[in-house]
Amino acid sequence: MQYPEPIAKLIESYMKLPGIGGKTATRLAFFTIDMDEDDVTDFAKSLISAKRDLHYCSICGNITEEDPCQICSDPSRDQTKVIVVEEPKDVMSLEKMKEYHGLYHVLHGVLSPIEGKGPEDINITSLLTRLQTHPDMQEVIIATNATPEGEATSMYLSRLIKPAGIKVTRLAHGLAVGSDIEYADEMTLFKAIEGRTEI
């Protein structure tokens, strides 16, 4: 016996999500049938609204409801600094810190030829135009992940940006705050010693 069409379609839709295969999708689909109709309507609405009402900010590339985003349109933020991150969720993490009041730029990925991502496939061109059109920009802080790809991306950006006379910095590597040295692995310790500071 085959599944009735509405269920089959629902299963197929769930399977498009990352990390969900046939079995999980079937389980979710049958669960959805048993849910309250209000809940299902809300769920459907949030799916559509997430897609329709969210855009990428035309300046920084972050996700936003209105364009330009809140951060880009806030004149009280420090217009001389910009942090470059891989993904929108990195902006959220940095904002939680509440200590940084400059701007952001989201690359939507890192340079990784294996995944088919070259310099023209991530949000680099718009960063360069942004720097050209804002002469008061003084520092670009690169906050890509500490992976070989994140490292390559940061080196690439610094080569493009530095000739324009703008300061390029990179986040520090080392021990996590509140962690024990005992539990740190050898490479983290090595990086921490390399990047030690005078007190």
Residues at the contact surface with other proteins, assessed by CB under 8 A: 111-114, 118-120, 148-149, 151-152, 155-156, 159-160, 185-187, 190
Q: Which is nearer to other proteins, 7 or 184 (CB)?
A: 184
Cα-trace Rg, the chain: 22
- In the complex, least distance from residue 154 CB atom to other proteins, rounded to whole angstroms: 9
- In the complex, least distance from residue 165 CB atom to other proteins, rounded to whole angstroms: 18
The answer to whether the CB of 90 falls within 8 A of the CB of 68 is no
**What is the rounded CA–CA span in Å between residue 115 and residue 136?**
35
Q: Tell me 65's DSSP state.
A: S
Q: Which is nearer to other proteins, 139 or 151 (CB)?
A: 151
Q: What tokens were used for 30?
A: 């049958």
Q: Which is nearer to other proteins, 61 or 150 (CB)?
A: 150
- In the complex, least distance from residue 116 CB atom to other proteins, rounded to whole angstroms: 8
Q: Which is nearer to other proteins, 22 or 119 (CB)?
A: 119
- In the complex, least distance from residue 122 CB atom to other proteins, rounded to whole angstroms: 11
**What is the rounded CA–CA span in Å between residue 74 and residue 52?**
24
**What is the rounded CA–CA span in Å between residue 148 and residue 146?**
7
DSSP-derived secondary structure for 102-163: SEEEE-SS--BGGGTB-TTTSTTHHHHHHHHH-TT--EEEE---SSHHHHHHHHHHHHHHGG
Q: Which is nearer to other proteins, 60 or 110 (CB)?
A: 110
- In the complex, least distance from residue 74 CB atom to other proteins, rounded to whole angstroms: 33
